[in-house]
Amino acid sequence: MIQTDSDSSRRVAYFYNRFIGKFQYGKEHPMKPKRIIMAHNLIVNYGLFRQMDVYLIREAQLQEIRKFHDPDYIIYLSQFMSQNKINFVKEYCSANNESVIPENLLEEFKLIIKWSQQQKIKTENSEFKVGDSPDNPTFSGLFSYCQLSSGASIDCAHSILTGQADIAINWSGGLHHAKKKEASGFCYINDIVLCILELLRVYVRVLYVDIDCHHGDGVEEAFYLTNRVMTLSFHQYGDDFYPGTGQLNSVGVGVGRYYSVNVPMKPGMSDEPYIEMFKKITSRVMQVYRPDCIVMQCGADSLSLDKLGGFNLSIKGHGACVQYMKSFGTPMILLGGGGYTISNVSRCWAYETGIALGQQIDQAIPSNDIYYDYYSPDYLLHFPIKQNVENRNKTEDLNKIVSTVYDYLSYIEN
Ligand code: TV7
Ligand code: CA
Ligand code: ZN
């Protein structure tokens, strides 16, 4: 392993729970939570976990989720809490006198009981339509999956705020499309918004950077009216690419005007132009905005050969963006997101865990990995990107985007 930075002394908190990898959106669905286990196994087998503080992910409580989401929407979703858990709580409450139930669990348990009784009424003629689109199916334990994903992102915020970590990582988070009362784009609960809201209890300014191939619409919308969060998304745009928002001129509203930054690009972006765009824009953003903390969504569907995304980045190119944000020395939270060619997703996030630790991991995939066969035929960390891909972005178009973003940023008063 090669040391890549002088400041390897940075403490990294890593959040994981293997249950997350066990949930299934559906056999044909492109979102595969299993990639989180695969990434974790690489992280373990590369020996990275020994250099971090590893925390077990807990489920976010209903009250915590309520900091952003609509209570009726949460009640609606909580019907997909694992029935085991509801039964457990009911049995626990009837077996114990309420005063015997630990204080910290009491309120949560009461809510679960109350809501599990209410849900029947609430879900009849519900305005919420989870399960209607194949993008957001209902599945066994759906709500527990959301609670784990968001519990980890909230705890990432806590580990930064308490000074226990300089960089916190939750590869099971980054579900940037979820709205206040609507599931969309494979996302149900917005762990990123919950994480940022927690950071805003202490910090004045938080920068959100999103390199998922899709626009980070849910996070943008949540903070569209405020200047305490700057949202910055790089994404594929045009030809009905999902979700269709994130135009260059969506800049925010009211005091939030110019605090939403969008970098829409056509398919085919490769390392060199992408990294150049990324550095030109983030360097100016850091200079103008001077955030107290950075939350970075590292969606891996911007990699070459992704099943949904149309960009052509290598793992090194994707990782260079993470490395660059780290170089500012600002506390940082790294979250997952999209990524649909799952062997490349796990490679990418293992590599970026190494970046957080200032360690360059070996090119050879550790042969003891139980998912070793997924890395055939080369069994290497860095896969060859797709050849003969046309970058449909002209240099002059990209330069125009940079200069427009610079103009917008110049309107921000210091
Ligand atoms: C963060 N693209 C999420 C990205 C969300 C993209 C979409 C699919 C898709 C869904 C499937 C499926 C699929 C091969 C791909 C307009 C539609 C078209 C559903 C078939 N195969 C993230 C969401 C995007 C579901 N949605 O940013 C089950 O592709 O384009 C759309 C919407 C209507 C619904 N149909 C697709 O990366 C985590 N969905 C196979 C089975
Ligand atoms: Ca994005
Ligand atoms: Zn995506």
pLDDT in tens, 268-282: 999 999 999 999 999
pLDDT at 413: 75
Q: What is the mean pLDDT of residues 28-35?
A: 98
pLDDT at 105: 73
Instruction: Give the confidence band of 256 by pLDDT, cuts at 50, 70, 90.
Output: very high
Note residues around ion ligand 2 (Cβ under 5 angstroms).
210, 212, 233, 235
The position carrying tokens 């550095």 is 279
* Distance separating alpha carbons of residues 366 and 350, to the nearest angstrom: 12
pLDDT at 75: 86
Closest CA to 242 of 187, 295, 318, 196: 187
Overall pTM > 0.80: yes
pLDDT at 132: 84
ipTM of this complex prediction, to 2 decimal places: 0.98
Instruction: Give the confidence band of 107 by pLDDT, cuts at 50, 70, 90.
Output: confident
pLDDT at residue 125 tops 70: no
pLDDT at 140: 86
pLDDT at residue 127 tops 90: no
Instruction: Give the confidence band of 110 by pLDDT, cuts at 50, 70, 90.
Output: confident
- pLDDT tens for each residue of 392-407: 999 999 999 999 999 9
Q: What is the Cα Rg of the chain in Å?
A: 21
Q: Token pair for residue 175?
A: 């579900």
> How close is the Cα of 318 to the center of ligand 3, in Å?
14
CB count within 10 Å of CB 266 equals 19
Q: Token pair for residue 230?
A: 């700057």
∠ Cα 301 14 211 (to 5°): 25
pLDDT at residue 99 tops 70: no
Percent of the chain with pLDDT over 90: 82
Atom 39, ligand 1: residue with shortest CA distance: 135
> How close is the Cα of 71 to the center of ligand 2, in Å?
28
Instruction: Give the confidence band of 369 by pLDDT, cuts at 50, 70, 90.
Output: very high
Instruction: Give the confidence band of 146 by pLDDT, cuts at 50, 70, 90.
Output: very high
**137 upstream amide cis, omega within 30 of 0:** no
Active site residues: 177
> How close is the Cα of 100 to the center of ligand 3, in Å?
46
pLDDT at residue 190 tops 60: yes
Q: What is the mean pLDDT of residues 158-172?
A: 98
* Distance separating alpha carbons of residues 365 and 346, to the nearest angstrom: 11
pLDDT at 80: 83
Closest CA to 200 of 241, 251, 161: 161
pLDDT at residue 112 tops 80: no
Instruction: Give the confidence band of 414 by pLDDT, cuts at 50, 70, 90.
Output: low
Of the candidate ranges 67-81, 225-239, 398-412, the one whose mean pLDDT is the lowest? 67-81
Domain boundaries, the chain: 2-410
Question: Ligand 1 — pocket residues by CB below 6 A?
Answer: 26, 28-30, 133-135, 175-177, 185-187, 212, 214, 242, 299, 301, 308, 337-338
pLDDT at residue 121 tops 60: no
Supply the mean pLDDT for the chain.
93
Please tell me the CATH superfamily of domain 2-410, with its number: Histone deacetylase domain (3.40.800.20)
- pLDDT tens for each residue of 4-21: 665 556 899 999 999 999
- pLDDT tens for each residue of 285-319: 999 999 999 999 999 999 999 999 999 999 999 99
pLDDT at residue 57 tops 80: yes
Q: What is the mean pLDDT of residues 96-111?
A: 72
